Chains A and B, each alone.
Chain A
């Protein structure tokens, strides 16, 4: 055990881990502060907010600073390569946006500021570990750090008891899925004697014993189910619409963007390392999961009258799109990573934009975000309506938005790997998606507010918080800028593989 630590460079390790350690330190400071200050209102909102923002910004710049310097090596069960740092930057930016759009929401909810920000920072730390994990056990620890924070967040930032129900469902099913994950881990360790991803990648193709091979595949299947729960693959998705809809908007945003990105990156690493290299069944299973996830969630999204729930299903559809890359992932590692990172960045940017709009709508009027109540928004709040339309169009993949190029590169990579039939399915799903993404746009622009049907229309008087405006402007700019000049982003990603 200690043999490993002998020639282990602690300074280097801490240096490269510093983007995540900063988050941990900020969380710790907040925790200590909440213990020391007996009366929570004494210091109020500003101090924890400032600490959180400072921690996240410092973390981002640390990641930015070390990105060109990383050694592309594994140190103590964590990978440090550029893709990891890109993942960290995505997660940190997403978390930062969530913090910025949550100011109004947490003021109204019952959560303490210290507690809320601690949980957000801890979950971001967990996501960082998930992204960098080079070992299934480290991955498991990261997953748990993230998940436990998220369970607590879903329940504590609540606007009604729906949030409690949402949190409980998430927690119970999360526990169920964790059992599968652990079981899979055990089987894999049992069959080839390691949990290290790179060693698994080396040894797995050489398993000759039939029994060991069955054990190994059983472990892969179990881990796949565990991952499938976290990123909401149909049929392990059932918690997702309820939880996404029931949580308060900032928490939903965190779940949909940062959490999904982190687990997706880990899943991709796992798939590239441990599966698909030699087994044809992997191809069929991933093919089927991808197709059913895209189609089922698209069809379900059509029926939704609640914008948030619709976006919940849309996020599942996007998971399905990302799964396009997995059946033949082993054929083209670099291409898969490139397309995936581009897609994840675009996915995060447009979802954050859309949810930032929703957070202002909900802050203005309580209750469900019914699409009907958007009627006439284009007249009352032209800029807000335009922003929401932009993000929805990008989600649907219209050029010239980032969503178009994300889909383009994704489909292109899949076609290059020979999965043409699956891309056809994806195009059908995209065609269906136009219907439900355009519905809110049509309602905003072409329906009068008198047609809402008894309920008050949204956002008559909401004053946009400057922080929310900043998030909206930045994400809208990113959506358009990278939609017109995708090369900048592609070059960045290409330099990271």
Chain B
């Protein structure tokens, strides 16, 4: 099979195809979207859906081929590079290539991105079928996949940054996809602007890295931003590794919605639900984690930066879980859950468990994408309703959605044998084993909260009495086949995906962790800890029981005893208020940053600088001056030859006087 493929296409071309197929899809759909503007679109929809889904599927098949090729490499590391497609930027003293690299990490990530991406494309074909801008939607979604795969497969930091910016752009476009609604357009803008803050930090880090690499004396004829080159000179990063790491981490904080730049992600739920599933749960938001794992050789040099990451990650993990408890919008609950789960990944990075972070990143993308797709299916069936208090009892009307959701919820809660159990266990165990007990305790508490909020969601949406209006409830039916099939496939992955990383205590050999671990210097030097298998087993069982307990509690309360929460919240009203108001973070931002900035902008910048100095003196003044000079100039251009000769002569006299005298 592989021989047959490679007889027709080279490995390098296959790698490029992974990235460029979605771009072709985007170009095709973009062209359709532009050409059919204002016309009857029904005719084009089949083509749009066909090409729009075919490109990601082919891309996924290409990645799969690469995967089977690379695991066949018996000697040496399983990696392949395309080499430079062309030299992108060449200056006298440095250059940047455009090239891709497939290694353990990028391959796994690309498998996840293209696989989940392909499924969500298929789902979108059903979900968005009746939308006006069907072709525009697919153009943007394909474009997103292109940039995401570029980000993942790039072999140098600058090309990765291109992908990084590109996914940000597509995220902005897709959040504001229904830009007729000002609130949704605003949500897109908010996401874009907050991500700019992170991008500035990322750029700053690139500049610092450039400085380091120049000073290291790396050969200027090779691409100094190439990950491999950087890795070889990693020792030179030591003096400013803290600064670089913190700047890179700030970029990741914005992209992956960590405290304090998390505020854009809940608002980003304004986009279509498949977009939330693909971009704001499975792929783009994990780019920050991916970038840090990729650049781990810089981060391990700075214990301080790692502690900061661990603290921010832990805080975000518990914070997101707390907020999810009181939220009532189905998509926003999942958004807070995403924030919280991303916090777990950063927590893992902070304690040095890079491969555990990568493992959880992959598994999380499966079940979180599935949760979003199920939520989309529910919203689709209820005609746009997103408030969980107006749902309930849906399992009888849409059984597939309900049971796939349950699988994903079990995975999120971390209950054996669903996938999330293994990945979350890997993180918590690493935290404990490396002696970060406090982090372990908070992570443990967070795991309970996660179980509770997700089963609260499951209970109130799919079980108990229906709270929706009777006519609405009667009309509810299962979603179309193109939506159900991706959900079922993702459910399989959510249920069984953990098998790639079963830890030793359960008789597995943690394939994924070891595979990715090869790339990470810190983990290479650590001997695999077989010393305390007993402790590991005990902790794991305790965590699972703890989570299961909360799961059942959440499910019971919200499926059967819906009046309890009200009584509880009345009792603990101050705490509840804080939670409902999301710890007043938006309000604090408003008071501390936005209002002073607005005041400063309005009274100082606008009134003094802008109106008086810039508008009055600079703009109008300079335009007046320019206008007068221009007037003189056109008056000078009188059309009379004698005048022209006079200017000529004056000029000649001046030139001769200056030069010859």
A residues less than 8 Å from B530 (CB atoms): none
Q: Is the CB of B652 within 8 A of A299?
A: no
> Least Cβ distance of A424 to chain B in Å?
16
Q: How many Å lie between the Cα of A284 and that of B637 in the bound state?
A: 26
Interface string of A476-497 (1 = CB under 8 A from B): 0000000001010010000000
Q: How many Å lie between the Cα of A304 and that of B631 in the bound state?
A: 10
- Interface membership of B86, Cβ < 8 A: yes
> Least Cβ distance of A151 to chain B in Å?
15
User: Per DSSP, are chain A's interface residues mostly helix, strand or loop, or mixed?
Assistant: helix
Partner of B660, one of A172, A218, A236, A432: A218
Interface locus among B304-312, B336-344, B553-561, B638-646: B638-646
- Interface membership of A285, Cβ < 8 A: yes
B residues less than 8 Å from A177 (CB atoms): 648
B residues less than 8 Å from A300 (CB atoms): 630, 633-634, 637
Q: Is the CB of B626 within 8 A of A299?
A: yes
The residue among B87, B636, B656, B661 with the most chain A CB atoms within 10 A of its own CB is: B656
A residues less than 8 Å from B636 (CB atoms): 238
Interface string of A229-251 (1 = CB under 8 A from B): 10000111011011000000000
A residues less than 8 Å from B655 (CB atoms): 221, 224-225, 228, 285, 289
A residues less than 8 Å from B627 (CB atoms): 302-303
> Least Cβ distance of B635 to chain A in Å?
10
> Least Cβ distance of B588 to chain A in Å?
40
Q: How many Å lie between the Cα of A300 and that of B660 in the bound state?
A: 30
Using CB atoms, name the residue of chain A closest to B661. A214
- Interface membership of A281, Cβ < 8 A: yes
Which residues, 62 to 107 on B, are CB-close (under 8 Å) to A? 86-87, 90
- Interface membership of B1, Cβ < 8 A: no
Q: Is the CB of A169 within 8 A of B90?
A: no
Q: Is the CB of B659 within 8 A of A285?
A: yes
What size tier do the contact residues of chain A reach?
Answer: 35 or more
B residues less than 8 Å from A180 (CB atoms): 652
B residues less than 8 Å from A490 (CB atoms): 90
Q: Is the CB of B648 within 8 A of A487?
A: no
B residues less than 8 Å from A224 (CB atoms): 655, 659
Q: Is the CB of A173 within 8 A of B644?
A: yes
Using known A-B contacts A221-B659, A221-B660, A296-B633, determine if residue A173 contacts B645 with beta carbons closer than 8 Å: yes
Q: Is the CB of B630 within 8 A of A236?
A: no
Q: How many Å lie between the Cα of A269 and that of B57 in the bound state?
A: 59
Using known A-B contacts A218-B656, A221-B659, determine if residue A485 contacts B86 with beta carbons closer than 8 Å: yes
Using CB atoms, name the residue of chain B closest to A309. B637
> Least Cβ distance of B492 to chain A in Å?
43
- Interface membership of A113, Cβ < 8 A: no
- Interface membership of A395, Cβ < 8 A: no
The residue among B645, B648, B659 with the most chain A CB atoms within 10 A of its own CB is: B659
Q: Is the CB of A238 within 8 A of B643?
A: yes
A residues less than 8 Å from B648 (CB atoms): 173, 176-177, 225, 229, 235-236, 238
Q: How many Å lie between the Cα of A214 and that of B661 in the bound state?
A: 7
B residues less than 8 Å from A426 (CB atoms): none
Interface string of A276-317 (1 = CB under 8 A from B): 000101101100110000001001101110000000000000
The residue among A172, A225, A288 with the most chain B CB atoms within 10 A of its own CB is: A225
- Interface membership of A222, Cβ < 8 A: yes
Q: How many Å lie between the Cα of A490 and that of B87 in the bound state?
A: 13
A residues less than 8 Å from B480 (CB atoms): none
Interface string of B268-308 (1 = CB under 8 A from A): 00000000000000000000000000000000000000000
Q: Is the CB of A217 within 8 A of B660?
A: yes
- Interface membership of A392, Cβ < 8 A: no
Which residues, 388 to 407 on B, are CB-close (under 8 Å) to A? none
Which residues, 173 to 206 on A, are CB-close (under 8 Å) to B? 173, 176-177, 180
- Interface membership of A468, Cβ < 8 A: no
Which residues, 30 to 63 on A, are CB-close (under 8 Å) to B? none
- Interface membership of A220, Cβ < 8 A: yes
Q: How many Å lie between the Cα of A303 and that of B641 in the bound state?
A: 21
Using CB atoms, name the residue of chain B closest to A313. B633
Using known A-B contacts A235-B647, A235-B650, determine if residue A432 contacts B626 with beta carbons closer than 8 Å: yes
Which residues, 378 to 427 on A, are CB-close (under 8 Å) to B? none
Q: How many Å lie between the Cα of A302 and that of B636 in the bound state?
A: 15
- Interface membership of B537, Cβ < 8 A: no
Q: Is the CB of A299 within 8 A of B651?
A: no
Q: Is the CB of A299 within 8 A of B629?
A: yes
A residues less than 8 Å from B645 (CB atoms): 173, 176
> Least Cβ distance of A320 to chain B in Å?
14
B residues less than 8 Å from A281 (CB atoms): 658-659
> Least Cβ distance of B45 to chain A in Å?
25
Q: Is the CB of B652 within 8 A of A169?
A: no
Interface string of A155-169 (1 = CB under 8 A from B): 000000000000001
Q: How many Å lie between the Cα of A242 and that of B652 in the bound state?
A: 21
> Least Cβ distance of B554 to chain A in Å?
53
A residues less than 8 Å from B656 (CB atoms): 218, 221-222, 225
Q: How many Å lie between the Cα of A299 and that of B639 in the bound state?
A: 18
> Least Cβ distance of A277 to chain B in Å?
14
Q: Is the CB of A217 within 8 A of B659?
A: yes
Q: Is the CB of B629 within 8 A of A238?
A: no
Q: Is the CB of B637 within 8 A of A487?
A: no
Q: Is the CB of B659 within 8 A of A299?
A: no
Q: How many Å lie between the Cα of A284 and that of B660 in the bound state?
A: 12
> Least Cβ distance of B651 to chain A in Å?
4
Q: Is the CB of B637 within 8 A of A238?
A: yes
A residues less than 8 Å from B634 (CB atoms): 300, 303-304
Q: How many Å lie between the Cα of A236 and that of B659 in the bound state?
A: 16
Q: How many Å lie between the Cα of A289 and that of B656 in the bound state?
A: 13
Q: How many Å lie between the Cα of A228 and that of B634 in the bound state?
A: 20
Using CB atoms, name the residue of chain A closest to B639. A242
Using CB atoms, name the residue of chain A closest to B628. A299
Q: Is the CB of A228 within 8 A of B651?
A: yes
> Least Cβ distance of A79 to chain B in Å?
26
B residues less than 8 Å from A172 (CB atoms): 641
A residues less than 8 Å from B658 (CB atoms): 221, 281, 284-285, 288
B residues less than 8 Å from A296 (CB atoms): 633
Partner of B637, one of A242, A302, A432, A485: A242
Q: How many Å lie between the Cα of A222 and that of B630 in the bound state?
A: 29
Partner of B644, one of A220, A239, A285, A288: A239
> Least Cβ distance of B138 to chain A in Å?
23
Using CB atoms, name the residue of chain B closest to A416. B92
Q: How many Å lie between the Cα of A279 and that of B650 in the bound state?
A: 22
B residues less than 8 Å from A220 (CB atoms): 659-660
Using known A-B contacts A218-B660, A235-B647, determine if residue A225 contacts B652 with beta carbons closer than 8 Å: yes
B residues less than 8 Å from A214 (CB atoms): 660-661
Q: How many Å lie between the Cα of A285 and that of B658 in the bound state?
A: 7
> Least Cβ distance of A38 to chain B in Å?
38
B residues less than 8 Å from A238 (CB atoms): 636-637, 643-644, 647-648
Interface string of B237-254 (1 = CB under 8 A from A): 000000000000000000
Using CB atoms, name the residue of chain B closest to A288. B658
> Least Cβ distance of B156 to chain A in Å?
17
B residues less than 8 Å from A288 (CB atoms): 658
> Least Cβ distance of B638 to chain A in Å?
9
Q: Is the CB of A302 within 8 A of B626?
A: yes
Q: How many Å lie between the Cα of A304 and that of B630 in the bound state?
A: 9
Q: Is the CB of B641 within 8 A of A169?
A: yes
Q: How many Å lie between the Cα of A375 and that of B580 in the bound state?
A: 54
Using CB atoms, name the residue of chain B closest to A490. B90
> Least Cβ distance of B367 to chain A in Å?
41
19 A-B pairs in the complex with CB atoms less than 8 angstroms apart:
A169-B641, A173-B641, A173-B644, A180-B652, A218-B656, A220-B659, A224-B659, A225-B656, A242-B637, A285-B655, A285-B659, A296-B633, A299-B629, A300-B630, A300-B637, A302-B627, A303-B630, A303-B631, A303-B634
6 other A-B residue contacts (CB within 8 Å) besides A235-B651, A242-B637, A284-B658: A176-B645, A217-B660, A221-B656, A238-B636, A303-B631, A304-B634
Nearest first, the 8 closest Cβ-Cβ pairs linking A and B are A238-B644, A235-B651, A300-B633, A303-B630, A221-B659, A218-B660, A217-B660, A221-B656
